[in-house]
Chains A and B, each alone.
Chain A
Amino acid sequence: SQQGEEDPQALSIQEGENATMNCSYKTSINNLQWYRQNSGRGLVHLILIRSNEREKHSGRLRVTLDTSKKSSSLLITASRAADTASYFCGINTGANSKLTFGKGITLSVRP
């Protein structure tokens, strides 16, 4: 079963604009992880945010976590054509630290 649900399913923006992607989940988490996947490739880890953290940054990426709303957001600032990919949130839950993924968001950045 998939724990996380990303929103929107697809997003198309112009190069230079910011992209905001959301992830909601159902149960308490150990941590939440965002990944990128280019067509035909494996997933690449972007950021991990722990359940006791509220915000993390990495370059042009900013992730927030609201455990009261059971949601997270990934913000990509000043997007580039190379950011075109699918983005997934991975939910790490339970004492057995199971890592499950949602269906993903398809981001298209137009040059």
Chain B
Amino acid sequence: EAGVVQSPRYKIIEKKQPVAFWCNPISGHNTLYWYLQNLGQGPELLIRYENEEAVDDSQLPKDRFSAERLKGVDSTLKIQPAELGDSAVYLCASSKGSYTEAFFGQGTRLTVV
């Protein structure tokens, strides 16, 4: 069974530029999470989807961040415009349901210069 796939693995952009991350969850997993992880810290939840519905986006900075999950499968997370403080690892995870264990992708390491 394929795991959670994220792309790209690394991204370097200049500040004020847009950037997008893509996530393909494990087949059959209804729940999808996007987390942000700073160096030496734990993952911080940005948004959670149940199928195509965003059920928890309270931590998503909506002035510059947006996300979508088309047809309840793949998801994209976008930042526009990026700021220096957005440099971090962006992790995607999926689970069969919101009460079960989550499976994480390798993450996308974003560097904003």
A residues bordering B, Cβ < 8 Å? Answer: 2, 30-31, 33, 35, 41-45, 48, 88, 90, 92, 96-104
Q: How far is the CA of A42 from the CA of B89 in the complex (A)?
A: 10
Q: Which of A35, A44, A45, A97 contacts B99 (CB 8 A)?
A: A97
Q: How far is the CA of A99 from the CA of B33 in the complex (A)?
A: 9
The stretch among B41-49, B61-69, B74-82 that forms the contact with chain A is B41-49
Please name all residues of chain B whose beta carbon is closer than 8 Å to the beta carbon of A96 when the two chains form the complex: 55-56, 98
B residues bordering A, Cβ < 8 Å? Answer: 4, 33, 35, 40-45, 48, 55-56, 91, 93, 98-107
**Are B43 and A101 neighbours in the complex by a CB distance under 8 Å?**
yes
Chain B facing A: main interface SS? loop
* CB nearest to A47 among chain B residues: B101
Please name all residues of chain B whose beta carbon is closer than 8 Å to the beta carbon of A33 when the two chains form the complex: 101-102
Chain A facing B: main interface SS? strand
Given A99-B45, A101-B42, A102-B42, also A42-B99 (CB < 8 A): no
Q: How far is the CA of A104 from the CA of B93 in the complex (A)?
A: 18
**Are A48 and B41 neighbours in the complex by a CB distance under 8 Å?**
no
**Are B42 and A42 neighbours in the complex by a CB distance under 8 Å?**
no
**Are A92 and B99 neighbours in the complex by a CB distance under 8 Å?**
yes
Please name all residues of chain B whose beta carbon is closer than 8 Å to the beta carbon of A98 when the two chains form the complex: 45, 48, 56
Taking each of A2, A33, A35, A43, which has the highest tally of chain B beta carbons within 10 Å of its own beta carbon?
A43
* CB nearest to B4 among chain A residues: A42
**Are B99 and A41 neighbours in the complex by a CB distance under 8 Å?**
no
Q: How far is the CA of A74 from the CA of B65 in the complex (A)?
A: 35
